[in-house]
Amino acid sequence: MNNSDKQKPVGGALRDDALKGKAIIITGGGTGLGKAMGIYFLKLGANLVITSRNYNVLKETAAEMEAETGGRAIAITCDVRKYDEVENMLHAAINAFGRVDVLLNNAAGNFISPTERLSANAFSAIIDIVLKGSVNCSLALGKYWIAEKIPGVMLNIITTYAFTGSAYVVPSACAKGGVLALTRSLAVEWGKYGIRTNAIAPGPFPTKGAWDRLLPGELAEKFDFKDKVPLKRVGDHQELANLAAFLVSDSSGYINGEVITIDGGEWLQGAGQFNMLEMVPDEMWEATDKARRG
Ligand code: HXC
Ligand code: NAP
């Protein structure tokens, strides 16, 4: 039996009314991790706006979310690359709920490729969704919060390779690195307005969107993200939702400018110079004991 078999179902970590009355926008909220975090926010009493480019997906997800939680979830189409669409989405959200308290920058685009095989347009496609999209939403919400004197909360979903960089996902690494800089910069500049800005760097959390693009075809048989994680398992969506809910709740009111990694130790396993000794079996440690001590 390995550790992943021993993993107990993960439950919600926050008290039931932790987000009561807060209006939250989640970009890319119709699928994957955005959807999982949204469901938990609704369970904690929040009102939700989910946005992406695909209205049918959003509408279906919003209905599913409301049925599962009894909360209110509204679907609004918005391409985060376009500032006028972001402004329209914000106005629609304010019309629906009276105000917006939280922005979760979660929308992303990604694919794997040797960089020299990418067209300039392919590179821009990712930068535009991830970096420009996060900038557009942060700017629109920041202007609104400052004008209305609302102590808003911004949470950005990045990746661990935002700080390490990564081969074969270079446009995404550049864009997520930019979002990390955005997070730390705005945390300081907008702190005086009571606006908090933080980020989460998730490790592998299986979603169709990510897995189809990052492990397409035979790669899924060749590589298993579990093998790169010291805990020998991938993340459970509820584990991410618990952290996100805490970071957008009032309980984290003094956390600002922080990036919290939730990856089972994955990126550090790739970093430590002697971590490869994990492969040394017990018998070999035994056999070499004398020599090592000598
Ligand atoms: C190389 C590609 C490509 C690929 C598209 N392009 N896919 N190049 N490899 N796999 C090129 C196209 O040829 C085109 O360039 C340019 O990129 C734009 O393509 P479009 O299809 O017009 O772009 P668009 O419609 O904007 O779609 C964006 C997308 C798509 C990123 C390509 O996959 C998408 O909509 N993704 C959204 C969801 C997503 O990616 N989720 C995963 C997030 S996972 P030319 O030159 O031909 O015009 C994530 C996890 C990180 O971030 C960490 C995990 C552990
Ligand atoms: P996902 O389901 O593909 O989510 C991405 C979402 O972004 C989709 O709903 C997509 O909807 C939306 N989106 C893309 N382009 C957009 C645009 N221009 N305007 C508005 N919305 C747009 O993948 P996921 O795994 O849940 O990823 C969610 C977040 O977690 C991303 O930021 C990702 O980088 C991050 N992350 C994921 C993992 C993981 O292991 N899954 C690890 C680290 C970080 P449409 O295409 O319909 O617009």
Exposure string for 231-241, b = 16+ CB within 10 A, e = fewer: bebbbbbbbbb
pLDDT digits (tens, 9 = 90+) for 188-198: 999 999 999 99
The two structure tokens encoding residue 179: 């979002």
pLDDT digits (tens, 9 = 90+) for 81-128: 999 999 999 999 999 999 999 999 999 999 999 999 999 999 999 999
pLDDT digits (tens, 9 = 90+) for 236-268: 999 999 999 999 999 999 999 999 999 999 999
| Residue 6 pLDDT | 58
| Residue 141 pLDDT | 99
Identify the CATH homologous superfamily for domain 17-293: NAD(P)-binding Rossmann-like Domain (3.40.50.720)
CA 176 – CA 169 distance, rounded (Å): 11
Domain map (residue ranges) of the chain: 17-293
Q: Give the Å distance between the CA of 202 and the centre of ligand 1.
A: 20
| Residue 1 pLDDT | 35
CA 25 – CA 103 distance, rounded (Å): 5
Told to judge if 161 belongs to the known catalytic residues of this protein, a careful annotator would answer yes
DSSP for the chain, please give it: --HHHHPPPP---S-TTTTTT-EEEEETTTSHHHHHHHHHHHHTT-EEEEEES-HHHHHHHHHHHHHHHSS-EEEEE--TT-HHHHHHHHHHHHHHHS---EEEE---------GGG--HHHHHHHHIIIIIHHHHHHHHHHHHHHHHT---EEEEE--THHHH--TT-HHHHHHHHHHHHHHHHHHHHTGGGT-EEEEEEE-----HHHHHHHS-TTHHHH--GGGGSTTSSPPPHHHHHHHHHHHHSGGGTT--S-EEEESTTHHHHTT-TTGGGGGS-HHHHHHTHHHHH-
How many other C-beta atoms lie within 10 A of the C-beta of residue 167? 10
| Residue 3 pLDDT | 46
What's the average model confidence in pLDDT over 269-277? 94
Q: Give the Å distance between the CA of 276 and the centre of ligand 2.
A: 32
Instruction: Kindly indicate the confidence band of residue 291, based on its pLDDT and cuts at 50, 70 and 90.
Output: confident
pLDDT digits (tens, 9 = 90+) for 196-226: 999 999 999 999 999 999 999 999 889 999 9
Ligand nearest to the CA of 33: 2
Identified catalytic residue from 161, 168, 193, 254: 161
Instruction: Kindly indicate the confidence band of residue 150, based on its pLDDT and cuts at 50, 70 and 90.
Output: very high
Mean pLDDT of the chain: 96
pLDDT digits (tens, 9 = 90+) for 35-81: 999 999 999 999 999 999 999 999 999 999 999 999 999 999 999 99
Instruction: Kindly indicate the confidence band of residue 183, based on its pLDDT and cuts at 50, 70 and 90.
Output: very high
Residue 210 CB–ligand 2 contact under 6 Å: yes
What's the average model confidence in pLDDT over 118-141? 98
